[in-house]
Structure 1
């Protein structure tokens, strides 16, 4: 009997705590990340390294896997061409294995589609969709959206079989705003003509950065001779170099992050869109998007969990 009381007390306590995150809050209360690699095939190894590099950074800075949606179109770690199975490196020196030991892929292979991506953002998922495949944000959520792959003027390809247009993406973000699914969004894209993908945005509280302007290519950084292909793109390489020096208590700002890849090293011109974002990025901590915020309420009052369970069980 005593064991049952303790068990039920813990259950009620956990439900109460966890449910706080699902209630719409005023202001910034939690962080989520949607990280998407839209290409596939071995010669696109660098795109997997790109997305896993950002994944590594946000996890290290405190965003838990339960609040990260990772969409990877192909599994380079287990590709038969990979000379070092179960690894993905983003540097020719192979000192950072961005695949790691605890990567949780939520959408894999042919699950990485335009339909699934839009449904994820807007919350229009089929009944019974596992929690790990849901973006359970609210109006207190700061959301990092990172995309990498092959694109053109006004579109991003998904696995060379379909594409999402800049207008479709803008409309999906507007649905998120209307449904109170975000507080602020940092949109980050590394692809050719990347800036074209944020040109149609019209929803508030969105800060956007792109690895290249319209008419420009987003270039790879270097080849690893041991692997035989380019292993990371220039913009993400320098973004990761910056993020590796950021700690959870860092005072670095989004304004500093927007300048991580000047043209002399990126070759392409990094584009930034600020007009939808009311704040000065120089005053916004980088951890507002790449870190974790968890509301904690301190109390010195004694809580009798056993009586709470007993009384709660009487509620009809």
Structure 2
């Protein structure tokens, strides 16, 4: 009998030690959706962030059939890439592009497809990309990582944008239909906090935003050899923390506090059911033990990420300035100076166009200046705001293809919250936006 008891004790101890590396029985499965909503070389960092996130999940034991990756996939083999087939997320870092599933690329990266994938609409995704969706159930956990440009109540995609109400409606419906036990969302975007202002705190969803509802997120790691920014501060901070910590022991709350402290460029915020933050990080990124410092040494005193950080809207300007400074010869300098001046001219065109619209709507110069100011109102009149933003997107500047135009939509919030109507905005936009379609205004 004594030997049997000893054997049972050994088995219990083995099971306990193994339990640290995987969810306990009955904890269900882990699913993940990773989304980079941008394209073009200026936005290299977004796909680099998402590729790094994939490597974290993969190395921590999450199988590829439980990870859905959506990214335009125009960076690794871009003609501007000095290392074809390689994407890095920190200077001299490893190739985070290696092995990344290409579930949905190019034109398949849309908000409609994202919501179908997230909600498990396999029928709706038949014949599109890999067709893979989140097939989660009541006992499963879901991790969502979204990286791109943003604006009040908006998360951008390559040719259009995701509206906050559509996003929230999908999440609430999933909760009502018992499609997850717990969900965690990490969002990197300007004004990303605005995407969670209406997130109910009585459903099992926990979210972190890179910034508040009215501020920019920041890029970092400007690499002169690659010629662009390699990452975003919030994303770099949570992923580099995950790389160096034992995710079987670190809690989401501890990670939030650390990332909030280290992201001095914007206000990292938590939303929703904060009790989930008591869960271990491994519950949402996989709990398989990995080698420490996979991504090389981490610096804390002279932080190279924060040292190189810059507001997301200023990234194109900084890249062109760096190229101008690195140019040898007058011919090259003249080319990059023209690119820089063209970018400023295009931005002025966007702002002047919107100012003409607002002037017609308000019929007052002082009120026009107030509506165009940097003052921020919380969105209450969603119908007016969404209709006005859609009009601006359809008639004036595509918000997916012209990232700088996203910096202007706060004016539509101001107009709607001051009692002006979407119909007034639409009429004015139709009168002003008679120019041919333009793209690439960064």
**Is the TM value for this pair above 0.5?**
yes
- Tell me, in whole angstroms, the C-alpha distance in 2 between the residues paired with 1:236 and 1:221: 10
1:229 counterpart residue number: 228
After the TM superposition, which of the residue ranges 256-265 and 73-82 deviates more from structure 2?
256-265
Q: Which runs of 5+ in 1 are unaligned?
A: 1-25, 294-316
SS at structure 2 position matched to 1:81: coil
Q: How do residues 267-278 of structure 1 correspond to structure 2 at under 5 angstroms?
A: 267-274=265-272, 276-277=273-274
Q: Deviations over 1:242-265 (max 9, x none)?
A: 0111346x3111111112323564
**Are the aligned partners of 1:235 and 1:266 in contact in 2 as well (CA < 8 Å)?**
no
Structure 2 residue 289 is the aligned partner of structure 1 residue 290? no
Give the deviation of 1:180 after TM superposition: 1.8
Structure 2 residue 111 is the aligned partner of structure 1 residue 114? yes
SS at structure 2 position matched to 1:98: coil
Q: Deviations over 1:14-63 (max 9, x none)?
A: xxxxxxxxxxxx96311011000001111100001111111111111111
- Tell me, in whole angstroms, the C-alpha distance in 2 between the residues paired with 1:32 and 1:134: 9
1:82 counterpart residue number: 81
Q: Cα 1:105–1:280, aligned 2, differ >3 Å: closer, same or farther? A: closer
Q: How do residues 173-212 of structure 1 correspond to structure 2 at under 5 angstroms?
A: 173-202=171-200, 204-212=203-211
1:138 counterpart residue number: 137
Which contiguous aligned blocks of 4+ residues in structure 1 show a shift greater than 6 angstroms?
none
SS at structure 2 position matched to 1:252: coil
Q: Which structure is higher in strand share?
A: 1
Q: Cα 1:128–1:214, aligned 2, differ >3 Å: closer, same or farther? A: closer
2:256 counterpart residue number: 258
Give the deviation of 1:181 after TM superposition: 1.2
**Are the aligned partners of 2:116 and 2:125 in contact in 1 as well (CA < 8 Å)?**
no
Structure 2 residue 39 is the aligned partner of structure 1 residue 40? yes
- Tell me, in whole angstroms, the C-alpha distance in 2 between the residues paired with 1:122 and 1:174: 10
Q: Cα 1:141–1:99, aligned 2, differ >3 Å: closer, same or farther? A: same
Q: Deviations over 1:53-95 (max 9, x none)?
A: 1111111111111100000123311111100011101112x22
- Tell me, in whole angstroms, the C-alpha distance in 1 between the residues paired with 2:131 and 2:55: 18
Q: Cα 1:188–1:264, aligned 2, differ >3 Å: closer, same or farther? A: closer
Give the deviation of 1:292 after TM superposition: 5.1
SS at structure 2 position matched to 1:156: strand
Q: Which structure is higher in helix share?
A: 2
- Tell me, in whole angstroms, the C-alpha distance in 2 between the residues paired with 1:212 and 1:138: 31
1:8 counterpart residue number: none
Q: Deviations over 1:208-265 (max 9, x none)?
A: 10000011100011211011111100011111110111346x3111111112323564
**Are the aligned partners of 1:78 and 1:85 in contact in 2 as well (CA < 8 Å)?**
yes
Q: Deviations over 1:248-285 (max 9, x none)?
A: 6x3111111112323564310001114x34x362x311
2:218 counterpart residue number: 219
- Tell me, in whole angstroms, the C-alpha distance in 2 between the residues paired with 1:188 and 1:225: 28
**Are the aligned partners of 2:81 and 2:226 in contact in 1 as well (CA < 8 Å)?**
yes
Q: Which runs of 5+ in 2 are unaligned?
A: 1-24, 289-442
In the comparison of the two structures, how many residue pairs are matched? Answer: 261
Q: How do residues 241-256 of structure 1 correspond to structure 2 at under 5 angstroms?
A: 241-247=240-246, 250-256=248-254
* Structure label with greater radius of gyration: 2
TM normalised by structure 2 equals 0.56
**Are the aligned partners of 1:122 and 1:172 in contact in 2 as well (CA < 8 Å)?**
yes
- Tell me, in whole angstroms, the C-alpha distance in 2 between the residues paired with 1:131 and 1:45: 23
SS at structure 2 position matched to 1:145: strand
Give the deviation of 1:132 after TM superposition: 5.1
